[in-house]
A and B are shown apart, each in its own frame.
Chain A
């Protein structure tokens, strides 16, 4: 599977990555090489194999329904790029 520059642009859009125009072609080439290597997966016979999401054969542990967090907004927002009145700011969202 090789990726065209157009596909690279689409994937970058989906992943919200701003690419410089001159990056697109090398990325297309490198991603194509990677996908070509990855294509070897299709050689495996997996008709009767169940997918493995996780190395542990465990089940989800459940947490008691308790409030354990206190308000530490000031600490958390000390590292925020832009806040006002306790809100995180982003460029206006148009609906």
Chain B
């Protein structure tokens, strides 16, 4: 999309991130995805009379973990409030959320733009809240079915400042956030299952206008691509409306992935008087400095720090470092390979980033499903490092390993791929090549240097590719020199 001249968009994102706890935020129900309807809904989740919420310790810890990872402030005292609206997926008639005093506030996230520049995006707040249930519309004539398994699943809602200006920036922010919460182990990041959902607040204004335009909120856009499309659609729509002399209504809209359009939601029309007040069933959540420090001390290394370390400690290019730190599992795999193989970190990086990821990609598998463990992979690279095999043979061994033919050593053994370092064997092969190609030898010796490659190829072929390349080169030059 090309932004019409003179206009700019102002975008803020609200991301709902399901916390990967065992049980719900206020009840002891399981939160496993895909269970039979309402089999993970206890009387607390069903909003039955007399039922009371008790807060899950791990939900608090995960929220604080997130806050620390985005350099945010952690509230010494945060308060749960009730947000009221009537909807069948909201059993109590209110959602327990945090309103005036969220647990996390004033954070930031640096995103990398396509041109390589870095933009800092403010995180206004991240608050703890409970998820709602789901309405099922298919399969009923005049009814909708309500499944409350999801009701009460712990969420953090991460609210950005309106610092984003394009759909691409929004996606970059979202991807960065997604990587972060998965890295931290606080969210499984599964967007299809709704573990990571995004609402986009979009407005447009003439460049230089002192105030923001009226914004719309587009709900539950559940993939990076849809976020981009939905925002672009909204920007275009809003500019069109304004340019036609109309004005933008502050409203909630829903993205339709089939049409790529957004549409105003009827059901939310009068839902803007939420009547928030502090939940009298819950008391203030207190985070002491000691508690916060303990969580800080246990934070995993974050993607950016890891990437910088990979560059300095392993001598990798920034590109390779970025690739290898794109997920915590991949980075751990790479580091395990380096440690166990004793091979050059750069060599390991090439092998993991190119060969392994390439193979996994072909199989549509993630690193955690790799058919070759880090230890097994390291054993392969070890054989390159100790010159048992050369790089070319290693590729064949790797293919065989992917095909499940055994460990590197087993394959090398079985196929007789051990590199020939015995100089007499190499000399024999060279002499044989020289003997069989008198014309080429004569030409070479007469000054046709280009023929050297021909001799290397022939000699390698004679050793079935197993000759140590260094030795072969040295000996070949000696013999050709006559």
* Chain B associates with chain A: yes
Which residues of A pack against B, CB within 8 Å? 13-14, 16, 53-54, 56, 58-69, 71-73, 76-77, 82, 84-95
- Given known A13-B270, A76-B41, A86-B39, contact A60–B283 (CB-CB < 8 A): yes
Contacting pair B280 A87 (CB below 8 A): no
A91 touching B146 by the CB < 8 A rule?
A: no
User: With a CB–CB cut-off of 8 A, which chain A residues contact B273?
Assistant: 14
- Establish whether residues A90 and B285, one from each chain, have CB atoms under 8 Å apart when the complex forms: no
List chain B positions with a Cβ less than 8 A from chain A.
Answer: 21-23, 27-30, 36-43, 46, 48, 54-60, 79-80, 86, 88, 135-137, 140-148, 254, 265-267, 270, 273, 275, 278, 280, 282-286
Cβ contact within 8 Å between B57 and A64: yes
Q: Which of A61, A63, A95 contacts B254 (CB 8 A)?
A: A95
User: With contacts defined as CB atoms under 8 Å apart, how many contacts are there between chain A and chain B in the complex?
Assistant: 127
Chain B residues within 8 Å of A91, by CB: 142-144
Tell me the bound Cα distance from A94 to B79 in angstroms.
34
Contact partner of B265 (CB less than 8 A), chosen from A16, A53, A82, A95, is A95
The reply to whether A90 and B88 form a contact with Cβ atoms under 8 Å apart is yes
| A-side contacts of B41, CB under 8 Å | 73, 76
- CB of A58, distance to nearest CB on chain B (Å): 5
A86 pairs with B55, CB closer than 8 A: no
Which residues on B sit within 8 Å (CB–CB) of A86?
Answer: 36-39, 147
**Which residue from B28, B43, B140 sits with its C-beta under 8 Å from A68?**
B28
Asked if residues B146 and A66 are in contact (CB atoms below 8 Å), the reply is no
Considering only CB atoms, which chain B residue lies closest to A93 in the complex? B144
Please, how many angstroms separate the alpha-carbon atoms of A92 and B39 in the complex?
22
Contact call B23/A65, Cβ cutoff below 8 A: yes
Residues of A within 8 A of B36 (CB): 71, 73, 86
Q: 10 closest pairs, A vs B, by CB?
A: A87-B145, A68-B28, A65-B58, A62-B57, A86-B37, A88-B146, A71-B39, A53-B278, A69-B42, A59-B286
